[in-house]
Structure 1
Amino acid sequence: MLLSFHDSHPHFIYHWGLSDTSFNSITYDSRKVEPGTAFICVKGTRTDGHNYLSQACEKGASIVVGTDADRLEQGSVQYPNTTFVQVSDAQSFMSYLSILLYDRAHEKLKTVAVTGTNGKTTVSSFVRSLLNKAKVPTGLIGTNGVWDDRIRRNFNHTTHTTPEAPDLQYIFHRFYEEGLQAVSLEATSIAIEQKRVDGVTFDVGVHTNLTPEHLDFHGSFDAYKRAKLKLFRHVKTAVVNLDDQGMSHDIINEFRGPLLTYSIKEEADIYVKNMTVTSAGTSMDLYIKKERIPVLVPLFGEYNISNFLASLGACLHLHVPVPLLLEGLRTITPPEGRFQIEESLSDYKIIMDFAHSPDALTNVITAVKSFSHRKLIVLVTGAGGGDPAQWPNMGAAVEGQADHIVVSVDHPDRLDRRDIVTGVLSGFQDPIHPSISTALDRAEGVHKALSYAEEGDIVLLTGIGFVGHQFVNGEEVPYSETETLEQYFLSEKNQKFQT
């Protein structure tokens, strides 16, 4: 790819070296630099990419981009064969370069971006499922990894939800080259704020809900909300949840393009009435632009029905015929770790759900209680990589909602596990109640929750157990919720055999 400075570029200020410079890859990690790489000096919270400028040049970077004019000019003297570029915003410029490198691949696909505090993974997964069923080959990018229209892919995925711009644009490019026609992705507030999707206009933007989260990053709920709203300045059409008071009205008031609303509580462009839970799922009257359609969907919980309606709205914006959508809803299922039911391992029901915010925890507990059961045992966690202010709120959300509660830890990273557990317990009015126990390790917490269960009970395992690892002391330590369950029942089986 040839980068020419004869033309204007977003955020460009000045350059030293060749006016026309070629590059074949982009990175902000100097360890990944190879000959011909464009190295972007990003200033993060822990380090400054300008500190690795020399390392990148020694490894063959053809272009170095940054914001510090003095250090870039010094570098140009030391490395005259490298082009140095000063910009006003390195992260946004990285997204712009990535779009150029991969020939605007996102514009050749239909793109659906889903944002909200809860439901992003489920909605984006539902969109992929419905579009593939409608013979529109569709990929997925999000918390559960990168999927094409058939299988999970092993693409580089530097962050665990919305990839950094070079990775994101590369995935778009590969999807297009492989014949996919659409992609559904999660757009987090942090990704939006860090300019990972700058320069991209999505065909559809979906809003699920807004409750406090990531306030440690954004600084305030208002800043968090503003980050989410930015997405809807860069979408052609919008889907909005009328039931959410967090920011639905802001989008409706500000957005000027085609917009569809959905609701499980009131009339909207897409809404439901007469929901009834059955053993096979939820039966209801579905209304699409006032046309009544009786349906049964294999989903449980009002929040999952809401997510389903959001996905319908996205597909309608992409002009998928309603009969094809109705065909697709018969086989639609939540993604791994989202209200995932396991009944084959024991004589009690195990339900696994990613719920890691107070609102999501409340929703999933409400849904679980619609099932017949004797006792309800809940595993709740505090996330070391999340906002510590949420820990007590998790405790408050679960107190009094189960017969036994196990408080544990997800992704402690460099934090003390005991501090995280104590933080969750501080939200209980009676943290020493005999129905409450603790475990400092998630696997231990899962096993402890299972140990309380008997025939006819429900064990609800919540938290971030399905991302394939736990962050411990700055490193990704492999972790599998499925293997943790299997280990428990294998151990239990062995104990019974020995007895």
Structure 2
Amino acid sequence: MLFLLWDTVSEKHARLFRKFRQTLRKQKNVSRKHLKLWEKDNSIMQEPTETILRFFRRLIPERLFIIFQPYYHKILSGFASMLYRRPSKNLIVIGVTGTNGKSTTVEFLSEILTEAGYRVASTSSIRFRIHDREKTNTAKMTMPGRFTLQKFLRSAVRAGCTHAVLEVTSQGIRQFRHANIDFTIAVITNITPEHIESHGSFEEYRKAKAELFALAPIHVLNKDDKETYDHFLRIPADERHVYSVLDIPKKLHLKIPGEFNKENAMAALTAARVLGVDDKVSMRALSQITYIPGRLEIIQEEPFGVVVDYAHTPDALEKVYESFDVGTHKLICVLGSTGGGRDTWKRPEHGRIAAEHCNSIFLTDEDSYDEPLDHILKDVERGFYKAPSLQTKKLHYEKISDRKKAIEKAIMSAQKGDVVIITGKGSESVMMGPDGTRIPHDDREVVRTILAQRKKNHGNGKGGLSHTA
């Protein structure tokens, strides 16, 4: 009875928050800065407890919080699970982790299980889905907070779902968001350097990923990522299942480009096999997927190509460029790098990779947060001079702070047969600025608007987009 009462109170609380936000927006005496800070804290309305906790967290001195942080997160994780009656006990939960390809693998596996006739819930950096209902993830947080995630799983149980596919991040693991969830299967895509400043080292980052596998009895490992494979073999498991892109069924025809998506497909197909799904069902489901939002999403193919992708790590960026750098057309690239002191080591690497593959580069904003944008772009620019190809080719690049204008200039400069590749944001619907400012922005919508204007002004020609499968 107490838990049912809490759910009712939570829903009413969320409605009150929405009303209060609307009232605040109408008040002339409320400063814009304070309103933005308030809205930042209330960007996820599914579970108002998260908002309350963030408020009280701010009252704790930072030095004191650092000492007690692990206990704080662990206790709240247990309380959240208890509050929603540990819903994962009534589900088969599959956790997908890794550096790149997590969201795509979650989407692939969810579609396979749905095709197999199961009711499926899933969470990823793209969206939250419970059977036939879905909501875009606008939180700038791949893995929801502890209370939000537990409530999501309880809602999945109420909707009659039998399976839940969750994208699990290293940051989420550090904050025990994965704890008190009964994982049946843990899937790894790959591990490359990421979040090094946050974790302290690559070894600590990999160690965080491995904690998911300590909770799941069944492990699905990528044999093609040898170092990660060897490391995760040391973790005890009841069952291990291994996949490789070399084992992809010959009859599987993916509509989504990119060699790396074959790896993601094999990860999903292998996990589905563990769950008893026939390969024919899996292949049918995978072959029906035409695109994943913001993941190598082709917005236009003719007369020149325009592609939007989430790539925000050096490894992912290089693989995206390699998918279209086939030597028959010019690559026009729009990119930046995250601010706020996040993984600053990546910036010159992004620059080096872009200079190696692209003919024209437009450097621009990509969630600068409180860091001066010019400082971020200079770090990216430094990497240009490390590209060996600059000795044999001339690189054109511009720095344009306004992301919409950068995309517009890139598209307007494209000629027949060229490919414009816009990376870093994918399907995200906001840009992050100073003081937690959330600026509405979707690369895909910006592209569509600009293409419509260009077509109106210049008409449409013929050409083609070629890429590696």
Q: Aligning the two structures, in what range does the TM-score lie when normalised by the shorter sequence? A: 0.7 to 0.9
1:361 to 317, 322, 328: 317
- The structural deviation recorded for 1:223 is 0.9
Q: Which residue of 2 aligns with 1:487?
A: 449
Say yes or no: does 1:224 pair with 2:205.
yes
Q: Is residue 2:409 matched to residue 1:448?
A: yes
Task: State the 1:493 CA deviation.
Answer: 4.6
> In the alignment, does 2:109 pair up with 1:127?
yes
Q: Could you say which residue in structure 2 is the equivalent of 1:338?
A: 295
Which of 339, 344, 352 in structure 2 is aligned with 1:384?
339
1:204 counterpart residue number:
185
Task: Tell me the alpha carbon deviations over residues 370-400 of structure 1, each in whole angstroms, 9 at most, x when there is no partner.
Answer: 5x84222122221125311111111112222
* Cα shift at 1:258: 0.9
Letter in 1 for 2:241: L
Q: State whether residues 131 and 159 of structure 2, in contact with CA within 8 Å, keep that contact through their aligned partners in structure 1.
A: no
Q: Deviations over 1:214-233 (max 9, x none)?
A: 11211111111110111100
SS in 2 for 1:451: helix
Distance verdict in 2 for CA 1:159–1:484, change over 3 Å: closer
Amino acid paired to 1:100: M
Q: Which has the higher strand share?
A: 1
The RMSD of aligned alpha carbons is 3.3
The residue aligned with 1:477 is 439
Question: Distance between the aligned counterparts of 1:67 and 1:384, measured in 2?
Answer: 24
Task: State the AA in 1 paired with 2:443.
Answer: E
Deviation at 1:99, TM superposition (A): 1.1
Aligned match of 1:427 in 383, 408, 415?
383
Pairwise CA distance, 1:494: 5.4
The aligned residue for residue 323 of structure 1 is 280
Consecutive unaligned residues in structure 2, runs of 5 or more: 18-37, 460-469
Partner of 1:140: 122
Please state whether the residue corresponding to 1:437 is helix, strand or coil.
Answer: strand
Q: Which residue of 1 aligns with 2:75?
A: 93
Distance in 2 between residues matched to 1:364 and 1:87, nearest whole Å: 37
Distance 1:478 1:465 in 2: 14
Question: Aligned-pair distance for 1:152?
Answer: 2.0
Task: Tell me which amino acid in the other structure corresponds to 1:485.
Answer: V
Decide whether the 8 Å contact of 1:42 with 1:50 is kept in 2: no
**Could you give the per-residue CA deviations for residues 27-56 of structure 1, whole angstroms, max 9, x where no partner exists?**
9x99889xx979986799xx645479xxxx
Match for 1:329: what amino acid?
L
Task: Give deviations 1:287-307, integer Å, cap 9, x for gaps.
Answer: xxxxxx533222322210000
Q: Distance in 1 between matches of 2:268 and 2:290?
A: 12
Q: Distance in 1 between matches of 2:305 and 2:49?
A: 52
Among all aligned residue pairs of Structure 1 and Structure 2, give the percentage whose two residues are the same amino acid. 25
Write the deviation string for residues 178-212 of structure 1: whole angstroms up to 9, x where unpaired: 12221212100000011111122311111011111
Q: How does 1:93-492 map to 2 (within 5 A)?
A: 93-153=75-135, 160-265=141-246, 271-272=247-248, 286=249, 294-343=251-300, 347-370=303-326, 373-385=328-340, 386-429=342-385, 434-473=395-434, 474-492=436-454
| Structure 1 CA distance for aligned equivalents of residues 401 and 368 of structure 2 | 9
Determine if contact 1:137/1:181 at 8 Å carries over to the other structure: yes
Change (3 A) 1:236 1:457: same
Which moved further from structure 2: 107-116 or 486-495? Answer: 486-495
* Aligned partner of residue 204 in structure 1, secondary structure: strand
Asked if the contact 1:215–1:224 (Cα under 8 Å) also holds between the matched residues in 2, the reply is yes
Q: What is the distance in 1 between the residues matched to 2:365 and 2:85?
A: 43
CA distance in 2, matches of 1:158, 1:347: 35
Letter paired with 1:398: A
Residues 80-104 of structure 1, C-alpha deviations (whole Å, 9 max, x = no match): xxxxxx9981211111111111111
Could you say what secondary structure the match of 1:296 adopts?
Answer: coil
8 Å Cα contact 1:376-1:457 kept in structure 2: yes
* SS, match of residue 92 in structure 1: helix
Change beyond 3 A, Cα 1:2–1:388: same
* Partners of 2:285 and 2:365 in 1: CA distance: 37
Distance 1:211 1:125 in 2: 21
Q: Measure, in 2, the Cα distance between the counterparts of 1:323 and 1:329.
A: 10
Q: Which amino acid aligns with 1:380?
A: L
- Please report how far the alpha carbon of residue 253 of structure 1 lies from its aligned counterpart in structure 2 after TM superposition: 2.1
- What is the count of residue pairs matched by the alignment? 418
What residue in structure 1 maps to residue 31 of structure 2?
A: none
How many Å apart are 1:246 and its aligned residue?
Answer: 4.1
Aligned to 1:57: none
Q: Which has the higher helix share?
A: 2
Instruction: Specify the SS of the correspondent of 2:217.
Output: strand
Instruction: Please tell me whether Structure 1 or Structure 2 has the larger radius of gyration of its CA atoms.
Output: 1
Partners of 2:353 and 2:51 in 1: CA distance: 45
| Structure 1 contact 109–183 (Cα < 8 Å) conserved | yes
> TM-score, normalized by length of structure 1?
0.76
1:407 aligned partner, one-letter code: L
